[in-house]
Amino acid sequence: TKTIKLSFSYKTKKLLPQLVKEFDTIIRVVRDRKFFSQEKERKKQPILN
């Protein structure tokens, strides 16, 4: 079981940067989309000042 654990941790270490990158990209996309939809809503509504 020790070798399995070792290889697993090794794989995880190798994959983690990739995973983090993917996650970061997803977060960025979601944030952008949120911002975009908010902007769209703001443009639709007349400005009340």
DSSP for 29-48 reads HHHHHHHHHHHHHHHHSPP-
Cα 48 from chain centre? 34
Residue 31 has a pLDDT of 94
Residue 33 has a pLDDT of 92
- 10 Å CB burial of residue 44 (0-12, 13-18, 19+) is exposed
Rounded to 10 degrees, what is the CA torsion of 23, 28, 29, 30?
90
User: Residue written as tokens 């960025």?
Assistant: 28
In the chain, pLDDT over 70 holds for what percent of residues? 92
Mean pLDDT of the chain: 85
pLDDT digits (tens, 9 = 90+) for 10-30: 888 888 889 899 999 999 999
Residue 29 has a pLDDT of 94
